[in-house]
């Protein structure tokens, strides 16, 4: 598992790329080995995910009849859902790269996409803590949640532009492939697995 110092280096590299500085590529391992190591990002995101799962469980239990409860299977299903949400968009991305003859771009995109998940996972975890503590702030948290979503799309588009060059159609197609399947799959699988809160 990559240590904190290595993760910090990757975050600095991503930040440079977001600012349009190609020197950020030098701080990332964009090789095939680096691509495989980038899946350790899931482990780094796991503590943040658990916090979000606890909030999700609280919402789910709130919609159950009085005395209703859920066990460990609930968290196992959420974990399976997270894995699917993570992997399926990358499969679609691989297909898109083959179709558009961008095979050499696949590894750098996967590396940046995976490590980018870390800061945003913790941003959502912080929001989950506020929700768990029942700190509503008059709808401000909903606005912040939306802003984080928009920021993730903007940051991802800037990273893809750095990797693929100034090709708006390709960048747009990749953003759609990485984000839309995740949203659709999440809604479907949450209901299919029985972990969607009922209010």
Asked whether residue 156 is domain-assigned, the answer is: yes
The answer, yes or no, to whether residue 192 has pLDDT greater than 80, is yes
- Quote the CA–CA distance of 119 and 161 in Å, as a whole number: 20
77-105: average pLDDT: 91
Question: Is there a contact between 171 and 109 (Cβ–Cβ < 8 Å)?
Answer: no
Q: How confident is the model at residue 198 (pLDDT cuts 50, 70, 90)?
A: low
The answer, yes or no, to whether residue 67 has pLDDT greater than 70, is no
The answer, yes or no, to whether residue 111 has pLDDT greater than 70, is yes
Query: Distance of CA 133 to CAs 21, 55, 63, 71, 126, Å?
Result: 40, 10, 18, 21, 11
pLDDT > 70 in the chain, percent: 96
Question: Is there a contact between 97 and 106 (Cβ–Cβ < 8 Å)?
Answer: yes
102-127: average pLDDT: 94
> What is the number of structural domains in the chain?
1
Asked whether residue 198 is domain-assigned, the answer is: no
What is the tens place of the pLDDT at every residue in 35-59?
A: 999 999 999 999 999 999 998 888 8
The answer, yes or no, to whether residue 130 has pLDDT greater than 80, is yes
Asked whether residue 37 is domain-assigned, the answer is: yes
Asked whether residue 197 is domain-assigned, the answer is: no
The answer, yes or no, to whether residue 62 has pLDDT greater than 80, is no
Query: Distance of CA 102 to CAs 34, 68, 80, 164, 171, Å?
Result: 18, 50, 30, 9, 12
Which residue range is the domain that position 57 belongs to? 4-192
What is the tens place of the pLDDT at every residue in 12-40?
A: 999 999 999 999 999 999 999 999 999 99
110-132: average pLDDT: 93
Asked whether residue 199 is domain-assigned, the answer is: no
Q: How confident is the model at residue 181 (pLDDT cuts 50, 70, 90)?
A: confident
Using the structure block, give the residue that is written with the tokens 């699917």. 84
- For residue 39, the tally of other CB atoms under 10 A from its CB is 14
Asked whether residue 86 is domain-assigned, the answer is: yes
Asked whether residue 62 is domain-assigned, the answer is: yes
Asked whether residue 51 is domain-assigned, the answer is: yes
- For residue 36, the tally of other CB atoms under 10 A from its CB is 13
């Amino acid at each position: 598992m990559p240590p904190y110092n290595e993760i910090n280096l990757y975050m600095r590299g991503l930040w440079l790329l977001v600012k349009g500085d190609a020197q950020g590529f030098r701080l990332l391992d964009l090789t095939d080995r680096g691509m495989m190591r980038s899946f350790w990002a899931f482990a780094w995101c796991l503590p943040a995910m658990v916090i979000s799962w606890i909030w999700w469980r609280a919402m789910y239990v709130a919609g159950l009849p009085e005395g209703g409860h859920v066990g460990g299977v609930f968290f196992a299903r959420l974990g399976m859902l997270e894995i699917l949400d993570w992997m399926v968009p990358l499969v679609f991305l691989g297909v898109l790269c083959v179709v558009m003859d961008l095979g050499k771009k696949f590894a750098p995109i996967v590396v940046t996409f995976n490590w980018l998940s870390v800061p945003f996972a913790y941003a959502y975890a912080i929001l989950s803590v506020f929700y768990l503590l029942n700190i509503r702030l008059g709808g401000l948290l909903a606005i912040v949640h939306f802003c984080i979503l928009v920021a993730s799309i903007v940051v991802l588009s800037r990273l893809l532009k750095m990797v693929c060059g100034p090709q708006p159609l390709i960048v747009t197609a990749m953003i759609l492939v990485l984000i839309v399947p995740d949203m659709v799959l999440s809604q479907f699988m949450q209901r299919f697995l029985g972990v969607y809160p009922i209010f």
